[in-house]
Amino acid sequence: MNEPEYFESVGRIEDSLLKCAKHSFEPFSNEFVDGGDIFSFYAKQWEKGNKFKLRHRTPVQLERDRVLYSPGMRKQTEKYHVLYNGQRRIVRAYATHTMKMAQVSRAMARGLDLNQDFAEAIALGAKVGAVPFIHAAKAPMTGWVEGKLKSLDLKLAPQNPRDKVSQQQLDLDFKDAEVPDFVSSLQSSVVLDKVQRYMPWAAGQRQATLYSSGQESYWLLCTNPFTSEAKKEAYFPETMYGIWRHTLGSTPDKKRFKHMVKLAGARRGHNLITDDHATFEAMIVQYADDITWVIENLNDANEVALLNGQPRSVYEALAIEVADIDPAFDAVLTKNDAGGLYTYFISAFVRHSSEILARDNGELSLRQALQKGDTSVRIGLSLEADQILTKLVEFLRTRIFIEPRTKNRSEMLRSISTACIELIHSSSDVLEHVLQDQSRVHRWTEDIKKNAVNLLDDPVHKIQLSLDVLSSWGDQEIYDFVGIQSL
């Protein structure tokens, strides 16, 4: 008996999904991030005899596995969240957050008949580009990158004033999308050109920054950062949109997000990532991220409080803050059970969102409405659960994270992060040494290696590469690099 065609087998696997869910083969989105054709790529893979690899697995599942086995995913075991209370300290590897966030995403997607594998792929990839020390280092990295870029622009602007051709090209690529201040304020045409080729950024918001964990995750997953070359036929634009925009509140609005892929090797033409790639699964991940962050921190704080012999658990104190919003949540808190908190939010999300997705029997038109910015089709928590989540975040920030050692540690890590990236950037041999290691591990050809070495002379590429290297290190590697010997 002949083997079934790959497209047919994938269709059967994904047949139970709603029409508005992300499917592997969609006629309106048939190109990878680099511009390669998705249909022809998998047809050729099937014809070439890769049936064993493809059989019973969808392209979405293959993409999820690429994220799971990426170097950045492994490094999350070496990045830590530390919480203090009294004489106690709780340390948690950041991989814990990612894996629980992925499972929350799957549970929500399963409850709504959306694509579980796709939601998991976004969740797993969302933190691949997180810098060491996570939240403590995010703002310093943004400030450092933007400061370096501004300094370089001031230096080169007199020799290379921006001309009309450069501005017209920028407008052509991004049309009516608002350009961030750090791009629109550039005066050097050389710097403007290099920023478009060597740095990930998107039009749509004036106050956008040059670093976020999702933004850097996109960059590390889709490129060889040492050569700024696009990886071939690797990821759907919907996946990268979800990863970049995984922060809660990043809602589609047609003019709020537009990224042009200008990497070497990318097929120019339609290789844009925009709000046209928004999905319901991406919205699931936004909520799963916040829910996981809140519950894991509350659970750590509660454990520390109990170990310190405090008369009242964190959950008991929290019950006062959220009393009477939802009796079902009050009952969960009295059980002192973190698992029950997850169940409450997952159930509240599925119940509320299923009513929205039931419109038009879950037809594709729902996702199209989402992409156009229709607020009536945005899935999420019930009103009560949303109010509770907001109060939990406030509770953490005003009652838990104010512990003196927690605050002092964050201040110290901000300074260490800035010192580390400055050392990486200013030391003549650090980036070259890392490059040589990458060349050996990935068995680069001499041409690839030569290109990577030559690019180190490009000042804009060097700024971005310094951030890429920092993102690829674990916490202890940072301590060692700046001369601090213990965790």
**Same structural domain, 41 and 153:** no
pLDDT digits (tens, 9 = 90+) for 284-299: 999 999 999 999 999 9
Asked if residue 174 belongs to a domain, the reply is: yes
The average pLDDT across 384-413 equals 90
Backbone φ and ψ for 474, nearest 5 degrees, come out as -95, 170
Q: Residue 1: is its pLDDT beyond 50?
A: no
44 and 151 part of one domain: no
149 & 39 share domain: no
CB-based contact 79:474 (threshold 8 Å): yes
Of 277, 311, 344, which residue is a domain's last? Answer: 277
pTM (two decimals) = 0.95
Both 273 and 178 in one domain: the answer is: yes
pLDDT in tens, 431-485: 999 999 999 999 999 999 999 999 999 999 999 999 999 999 999 999 999 887 6
What domain range includes position 447? 405-482
> Is 211 part of any domain?
yes
**pLDDT digits over 302-349, tens only?**
888 877 777 678 888 888 888 889 999 988 887 777 889 999 999 999
Least confident segment among 108-122, 153-167, 203-217, 221-235? 153-167
Whether the Cβ atoms of residue 20 and residue 364 lie closer than 8 Å to each other: yes
In a domain, residue 375? The reply is no
Which residue, 235, 259, 277, sits at the end of a domain?
277
State the total domains in the chain.
Answer: 3
- Residues 350-371: what's their mean pLDDT? 94
DSSP symbols for 351-406: HHHHHHHTGGGG-HHHHHHHHTT-GGG-----HHHHHHHHHHHHHIIIIITT-HHH
Q: Indicate if the alpha-carbon torsion angle 227, 228, 233, 234 is positive or negative.
A: positive
Residue 189 resides in a domain: yes
Residue 364 resides in a domain: no
Domain ends where: 277, 296, 322? 277
Q: Phi first, then psi: give them for residue 465, nearest 5 degrees.
A: -65, -35
Mean local confidence (pLDDT), 397-402: 86
Is residue 153 a part of any domain in this protein? yes
Q: What is the pLDDT, as a whole number, of residue 270?
A: 63
Residue 156 maps to a domain: yes
Query: Residue 334: inside a domain, yes or no?
Result: no
